[in-house]
Amino acid sequence: MAVDSFRKIWSHNLKTFRDHYVSEISGCLGDLGTFLPIAIALAVNGTISLSSTLIFSGIFNILTGLFFGIPLPVQPMKAIAAVAIARSFSNGTIAAAGIFVGACVFVFSVTGLLHWFAEVIPIPVIKGIQVGAGLSLVIASANNTLSTLGWIHPSWADNRLWAIAAFVCLLLTNIYRRVPYALIVFALGLTFAIIRSALEFELPSLEIWHPFVVVPGPIEWKVGALDAGIGQIPLTTLNSIVAVVHLAGDLLPRIKTPSITAIGLSVAGMNLVGCWFGAMPVCHGSGGLAAQYRFGARSGSSVIFLGILKLLIGIFFGETLVGLLGRFPSALLGVMVIAAGLELVSAGESLNTTGARDIARVGEGLTGDGEQEIGPMLSDIERKRRWTVMMVTVGLLVGFKNDAIGFVAGMLCHWVLQLPWILDRARDRWSEGRIRV
């Protein structure tokens, strides 16, 4: 059974890449707007090894493409990265944080807690997490990246004019979908970075990777787990596992959606292995999946191609790439991040349509274990309630910049709106004599 499944995935990957290799290559670059800035910032601080990050994330890209058959991203754990950058974590501290989260997710996966968690979360809350994550990407890109640009500064290759041009071209791709936007933008940005590096005589050089092991000390375990790891757990569980499974089913309905448990074990395995070698803590994220889909990726072949590229670059160039990648135009990266955010925001469009899993869909269930039944049509009141729950989740998530707060707010709203139905049902049971004091 497993062999047949793997054969189908491999056949799908090969056929898709053969027929649409330009789109697959373009799509695999869609998540670089998130990956590159965080990886560079951590590498410049000496918190991670860029070569180890490229090599291990490349290996994980290849494995996820082979076993899942969808363009599943391998992206930074953002909560850990934010704390690590702000506090200049050591190698051991960020490794401890990643290993701690990996261990927790592993326990959640093998005990069935992830499965249960996915089943009890209402679809409006899931949609709210997706839309909130998308809006957060757009806001972060606008505030932290694009707002600092001048009309002709900081350089001829990186300014507001290039950002506007990239955004206009992005809008045109809504009409001309076959244009490999991410591939063109990445090639242009890389050309600019190479020219700027050459002018400053700081081009990358050959430097073979020398693996090393990071063993966190007691203080590093404490700081990494408590100050960064705990805050990452809800983000990983909600956005990198539950939401990504839902989004995969929505975007790629013809491909078997990976189970919650499989994605959880994948996230756990990546960090329980890579972090010991100085690699950046990573996860799968709905934003990265939306970005890669937006730019053309439709199979695992896209991330397999990206993984091979990362692997070769990491082995032969590694740390010498920090300067080059640091000169990649933020104007172009910022627009790519906005594109990813907008694609993720569009996931909320199907909240009250047959595109929502709990309304009308027959096929594999969320966990891959069975079929879902066709749900009832919604009344206007039900539509309004679902929309309210989603927007409460979005508003609190974006307002507090915290997935956990958005999730709790959405669940509270859902439960409060369910009170009339619960009371009516209890009253009916009482009148039927099925509830006795």
DSSP notation for 407-433: HHHHHHHHHHHHHHHHHHHHHHHHHTT
The whole-number pLDDT of residue 282 equals: 93
**Tokens 């490794």, residue located:** 95
Strand-pairing partners, residue 155, are 158
The whole-number pLDDT of residue 5 equals: 78
Tell me the CA end-to-end span of the chain in Å, nearest whole number. Answer: 53
Residue 289, in any domain of the structure: yes
Query: pTM to 2 decimals?
Result: 0.79
Residue 50, in any domain of the structure: yes
Residue 399, in any domain of the structure: no
The whole-number pLDDT of residue 2 equals: 67
295 to each of 44, 164, 173, how far by Cα in Å?
Answer: 29, 19, 9
Residue 368, in any domain of the structure: no
The whole-number pLDDT of residue 103 equals: 95
Q: Which residues contact 125 (CB under 8 A, 6 or more apart)?
A: 389, 390, 393, 407, 410, 411, 414
Q: What's the total number of domains in the chain?
A: 1
Token pair of 431 as six digits: 């009148």
The one-character DSSP state at 349 is G
Residue 437, in any domain of the structure: no
Token pair of 323 as six digits: 């300067």
> The domain containing residue 277 runs over which residues?
1-347
Q: Which residues contact 150 (CB under 8 A, 6 or more apart)?
A: 159, 160
Residue 198, in any domain of the structure: yes
Residue 297, in any domain of the structure: yes
Q: Which residues contact 44 (CB under 8 A, 6 or more apart)?
A: 322, 326
181-199 and 160-172 helices cross at what angle (nearest 10)?
160
Residue 415, in any domain of the structure: no
Distance CA 72, CA 77 (A): 15
Kindly give the confidence (pLDDT) of every residue in the chain, 437 residues in length, as a single tens digit, with 9 standing for 90 and above: 567 777 888 888 999 999 988 999 988 888 787 788 888 888 877 889 999 999 999 999 999 999 999 999 998 888 788 788 777 888 999 999 999 999 999 999 999 888 888 777 888 887 887 788 788 878 888 887 888 889 988 888 899 999 999 999 988 888 877 778 878 888 898 899 899 889 888 888 878 888 889 999 999 999 888 888 887 887 788 778 888 888 888 888 888 888 899 999 999 999 999 999 999 999 998 878 888 888 889 999 999 999 999 999 999 987 788 888 888 898 988 888 788 778 778 777 767 766 666 665 444 444 444 444 444 567 778 888 888 988 998 898 888 877 778 888 888 998 888 887 777 776 766 676 655 54
Q: Which residues contact 250 (CB under 8 A, 6 or more apart)?
A: 347, 350, 355, 357
